[in-house]
Amino acid sequence: MRVTTTVNGERRTVDDVWEGESLLYVLRERMGLPGSKNACEQGECGSCTVYLDGLTVCACLVAAGQAEGREIGTVEGLSGGADLHPIQQAFVEAGAVQCGFCTPGLLVQTHDLLAREPRPTDPEIREALAGNLCRCTGYEKILDAVRLAAGPVAGPVAGTTP
Ligand code: FES
Ligand code: FES
């Protein structure tokens, strides 16, 4: 099956996609976008979080065919070039990245939160990130990072909520 989508603002077509393949597999293995991580493949950890038509989803739970004709935004689309996005910078500065496996999903989910609520309270941050598991940081550094990122305005990323 052929699947055509727009990924980070770029039209992408892949062929020979098996009907049972996930969007996560297509992004990582067929489109060369390994930023979204595959940790549980069951919708439990959030490490594969991407935007699908402006809403965050677990890419491991989306069948590739469901992405046909739709807009996808991945962690690779957050930063426009060599410079880190302010959210990425905040995660680095706050020490919120250890093994990094959870980080791409947290970045996308934080981007979505700050686009909706530029000054979130701690309970709002906790609720927004409740589906993103981290085994390394104990979450405090992640909270610090989101608070830090809430200063700069998050720029738009393709396939996201305006
Ligand atoms: S890999 Fe998708 S939720 Fe864990
Ligand atoms: S930094 Fe290792 S799982 Fe979060």
Inter-residue contact 111 to 160 (CB < 8 Å): yes
DSSP alpha helix (H) spans, 57-160:
86-93, 103-116, 122-128, 140-149
- Closest listed ligand to the CA of 58: 1
Query: Mean of the pLDDT values across residues 82-107?
Result: 96
Phi–psi pair at 126, nearest 5 degrees: -60, -40
> What is the number of H-type helices and E-type strands within the chain?
5, 5
pLDDT (tens digit per residue) in 19-64: 889 999 999 999 999 999 999 999 999 999 999 999 999 999 999 9
Q: Which atom of ligand 1 is nearest to the CA of 59?
A: 2
The pLDDT value given to residue 160: 54
Give 67's pLDDT tier (boundaries 50, 70, 90): very high
Q: Which atom of ligand 1 is nearest to the CA of 40?
A: 4
Give the pLDDT band (50/70/90) at residue 81: confident
Among the listed residues 27, 37, 10, 104, the one whose alpha carbon sits nearest the alpha carbon of residue 63: 27
Cα first-last separation, the chain: 31
Average pLDDT over every residue of 76-95: 93
Pocket residues for ligand 1 (CB within 6 Å)? 38-41, 43-48, 58, 60
CA–centroid distance, residue 35 to ligand 2 (Å): 14
> Which pLDDT score is estimated for 157?
52
User: How many C-alpha atoms does 83 have within 13 Å on its Cβ side?
Assistant: 5
Maximum Cα–Cα distance for the chain, whole Å? Answer: 46
- Residue 45 Cα to ligand 1 middle (Å): 5
CB atoms near residue 5 (< 10 Å): 22
- Is 100 a residue whose pLDDT tops 50? yes
96 C-alpha to center of ligand 2: Å? Answer: 8
**Residue among 17, 40, 42, 37 at smallest CA distance from 108:** 37
Return the ligand 2 atom nearest residue 106 CA: 4
- d(CA 140, ligand 2 centre) in Å: 12
Percent of the chain with pLDDT over 90: 88
pTM of the model: 0.92
Q: How far apart are CA 115 and CA 151, in angstroms?
A: 12
Mutate to test the pocket of ligand 2, among 44, 101, 142 (most ligand atoms within 8 A of CB): 101
pLDDT score recorded for residue 155: 52
Q: How confident is the model at residue 10 (pLDDT cuts 50, 70, 90)?
A: very high
Mutate to test the pocket of ligand 1, among 25, 28, 45 (most ligand atoms within 8 A of CB): 45
Which residue, chain included where needed, has tokens 């947290």? 106
Give SS3 for 35. Answer: coil
pLDDT at 19: 86
Nearest to 113 by CA among 65, 46, 61: 46
Q: Which two tokens stand for residue 120?
A: 């979130």
